[in-house]
Structure 1
C-alpha cells in the first residue's frame, strides 16, 4: 500500500520544539519583555500599550504570519483523531479503497511533568491553502457520502510546527504601584452562568478575566457551578479537586498553589460526618452543603436540614426548596439522609467545620472576608521552570496537551506582580492559540515564575473599561462560571 507525506509550505512536523528561555532579571520584573516572541520562529512581536489604571498596563500583542492551510483527518474506529499504528493502517486502507491517497502521520504528544510522551498515529489526505477551505469541505462531503468518517482540520490547530499568527492581550499589574485589590466572582449565584462583562460591571472592576472550568455536564440549571475550588469573600462555595492548581487572592496579593478542602458536619451529640460536596448536583448516598449563594433549589428526593447563622437546625424538611438568606442547608439522600434524621433534629445544633489547606505549606487558609480562591485547570510554571501538571489536573489527553486552543493564563512574578493574559485561537489565518507547552513558554517569557492555565476555548475573555478586549472564538462573549476581577480598591 502506498503512502505519501504532506509536503510543501504547509508541512506538518512530527515533534514540538521547546524553546529554552533563561530566567533573566528582566523576566522576573513586571516590564514587558524585550526578548523575541517565544513561539514559532521567535519573530519580533508588535505591541500596543494602554494604561488601564495606576499600576495596570494592558498590551495588545501580535506575532507571526499565516502559512498553514487545511487537510482532511479520518477518524479512528473509536471516533478519535488518532490511535494505534494498526488502527491507522486499517483506516488508511479504507481511505485508499475510496479513491483517496492517504498519509499515516506519526504524532508525538510531548512529555509533561506528570505524564510520559505518547506516540499516536493519524490518517490524513489532501492539502489546501487557507483561501480554499470550501474545496476541502467539498472533498470531505464526497468522502462522507462514500461512507468514511472524515473532518476538515486547520493545520495551525495541530500543536505541531507553525508560524502562527498569534494574537494576545497581556495585563501586567505592578505590585509596587497598583493600589486596588483582587477578587473572585460567581456572579449572582453559583448555579447560573454569567459573562465576565456582567461580573465586571456589577463590581465596577477595572479588569476581569474568566476563571476556572465550570460543569457543562450537569443539568442546565446548574451549569455555572465551578469544577474545582471556589472561595468568595471567605466562603467556600465549591469544593476543591484535591491537588489541582488554584490561585489564592487576598487584597492585592496573588499566590498560585494546590489546595485540598474538607467539610465536616458535627452534631451536638458528638457525631461527625464528612460532607461530600458544596453547591453541586448530588449522587447516591451523598451529604452536600448548599449555601444561600447557590441560587437554585436543593435536589428533590432527600432530606434537608436548614441551619441558621448560629448553627441551629431550624427545620428538617423534605428536599427540593430554595436556600433562604442567612441559612445553609445540609442535604442528604440514602444513608446520608439517615444521618440527618438521626443527628440533625430540629432545635439541635450542627456545626459545619470548613478547611481549605494549602498543600505546598500544609497550612489551612484563614477564611476571612478578603480571601478569594479561583480553581485553575493545569499548572504551567513552578519556581521559574516549565512544570506542566496535566495528569494531576485531569487534562493529560492529546487534545488538551498538544492541540492549540484559546487560552486564559495567570502568572505571578518574583516580586509578587500579577500577569493576566489571553491568547486568542481557533481563528484560521488570524490567530492559532497555544498548547500547554507554548502557554508555559509564553508566561515564562512575560516574566512569570509561577503560572497556571485557567478555562480556555470559547470561554477565554478579558474585559477592560467595560469592553471585551480580546476576540472570543465563539464570535461573542460566552457566559461562564466565575471570573477573576481587578478592583479599584
Structure 2
C-alpha cells in the first residue's frame, strides 16, 4: 500500500519526529514550539474584526423564508446544493462531494478561525468551528496556522502579511483571482477590495483549462508539508461565474471506497463542473465538508482532524 495512504495526522508525525530528537535538547524544544504549542496572536477574532470596522452588512444572516432539506439550502441571499459522486471500483474507487454555491453578495462567503483565535497551531474540527459560527455549509480552509507565512485577509481584515506563494483572493465585488503573493501586499489587496485570501494552492485550473506542472508543486519547504503529490484526499474551490462557486471534497486513503485523486485528476473534476478557475486547499486528513449540522464526507483519519480555519456560509 502506498505509504502516503497510511500517514497519520500532522501533529502525530511531528510529535514522533520531535521524540526522536529529544537528545538534541534545543532542537526538540524549537520543534515543539514551532509545530505543536499554540501561539495566540489575537484571542478574540470576532471582537477584533468588529473593532476593525468590518462591514456589518457582510454578515450572511438568513433573511426571509428559509428552505432546508437533506441536500440543499436557500435563503434570500444564497443557495447551496450538495451532491455525491462515486466512480470506479476497488483500487480505482473515488468518492467526492460537490457543493454548488450561489451568492447574491460575495461577502456572504465568510471565514472563521479555530477557537475564534488567530495564531499558530490553534486547531479545532471543521464542524466545531462551523457550529460556533452558525454555518449551514463549510469546508476546511488553508490551514494558515501550520505556517507563519502567506497573506491572510479574512472577512475584510488583515491578519498576516508575509508573502510566500501563489494565493487566491476573493473580492467583495465578486471577483476571484489567483495571484502571486510576492508581487503585492495585504494593504494593496485590501485597498482593491479584498474580502478573503487563501494561501495554499496551487491553482489547478486557469481560463477553463488544467494548469500544467501542478504535480511538481511544493506548497511549503517547512518540515512535514513539502509536497502534495499522489492520490490524496483533497479540498478545492472553483469559480463558475460571478458569485457562483463550486467546492469539492474528495475522500481518500480508504481502500475500496475512495483512494483519493492527484492534483491533475482534481483539476479535471473541477473543469467538468464548469470551473474556469480552481484552487487547491489543504487536503489529507483536513479535507472536510460540513452541511446542515453534520460532516457529509468521510475524513481519512476515521474522524475529523483539527484545522486552523474554515470557509463557510451562515444559515
Instruction: Give TM class, smaller chain.
Output: 0.5 to 0.7
User: Residue 207 of structure 2 corresponds to which residue in structure 1?
Assistant: 383
Q: Specify whether residues 215 and 199 from structure 1 end up closer, same or farther in structure 2 by C-alpha distance, changes over 3 A only.
A: closer
User: Residue 190 of structure 1 corresponds to which residue in structure 2?
Assistant: 118
Distance 1:243 1:51 in 2: 35
Q: CA deviation at 1:174?
A: 2.5
Q: Structure 1 unaligned runs (5+)?
A: 1-48, 69-163, 217-224, 263-353, 358-362
User: Residue 167 of structure 1 corresponds to which residue in structure 2?
Assistant: 95
Distance 2:218 2:163 in 1: 8
Q: Does 1:206 align with 2:136?
A: yes
Task: Name the TM-score, length of structure 2 as normaliser.
Answer: 0.66
Q: Does 1:52 align with 2:76?
A: no
User: Residue 179 of structure 2 corresponds to which residue in structure 1?
Assistant: 258
Q: Specify whether residues 373 and 226 from structure 1 end up closer, same or farther in structure 2 by C-alpha distance, changes over 3 A only.
A: farther
* Kept after mapping to 2: 8 A contact 1:458/1:473: yes
Q: After the TM superposition, which residues 362-441 of structure 1 pair with which residues of structure 2 at under 5 Å, given as runs? A: 364-366=189-191, 371-388=195-212, 390=214, 394=219, 400-401=228-229, 403-441=230-268
Distance 2:202 2:308 in 1: 17
Q: 2:302 aligns with which of 475, 480, 489?
A: 475
* Kept after mapping to 2: 8 A contact 1:210/1:455: yes
Q: CA deviation at 1:61?
A: 1.3
Larger radius of gyration: 1
Q: CA deviation at 1:57?
A: 0.6
* Kept after mapping to 2: 8 A contact 1:226/1:481: no
User: Residue 235 of structure 1 corresponds to which residue in structure 2?
Assistant: 157
Distance 1:408 1:421 in 2: 6
Q: Does 1:63 align with 2:84?
A: no
Q: CA deviation at 1:466?
A: 1.7
Partner SS for 2:98: strand
Q: After the TM superposition, which residues 310-329 of structure 1 pair with which residues of structure 2 at under 5 Å, given as runs? A: none
* Kept after mapping to 1: 8 A contact 2:150/2:181: no
Structure number having the greater helix percentage: 2
Q: After the TM superposition, which residues 104-115 of structure 1 pair with which residues of structure 2 at under 5 Å, given as runs? A: none
Distance 2:289 2:177 in 1: 20
User: Residue 7 of structure 2 corresponds to which residue in structure 1?
Assistant: none
Q: CA deviation at 1:214?
A: 4.0
Partner SS for 1:400: coil
Q: Structure 2 unaligned runs (5+)?
A: 1-69
The alignment of Structure 1 onto Structure 2 pairs a total of residues equal to 237
* Kept after mapping to 2: 8 A contact 1:63/1:165: yes
C-alpha offsets along residues 271-322 of structure 1, whole Å, 9 cap, x if unaligned? xxxxxxxxxxxxxxxxxxxxxxxxxxxxxxxxxxxxxxxxxxxxxxxxxxxx
* Kept after mapping to 1: 8 A contact 2:219/2:226: no
Q: CA deviation at 1:201?
A: 1.3
Distance 2:160 2:280 in 1: 19
Q: Specify whether residues 231 and 399 from structure 1 end up closer, same or farther in structure 2 by C-alpha distance, changes over 3 A only.
A: closer
Q: CA deviation at 1:245?
A: 2.4
User: Residue 219 of structure 1 corresponds to which residue in structure 2?
Assistant: none
Distance 2:148 2:139 in 1: 15
Q: CA deviation at 1:256?
A: 3.0
Q: Specify whether residues 227 and 407 from structure 1 end up closer, same or farther in structure 2 by C-alpha distance, changes over 3 A only.
A: farther
Partner SS for 1:439: helix
Distance 1:451 1:250 in 2: 18
* Kept after mapping to 1: 8 A contact 2:100/2:245: yes
Task: Name the TM-score, length of structure 1 as normaliser.
Answer: 0.44
C-alpha offsets along residues 378-426 of structure 1, whole Å, 9 cap, x if unaligned? 110011111156466637999633x100000100014441001100000
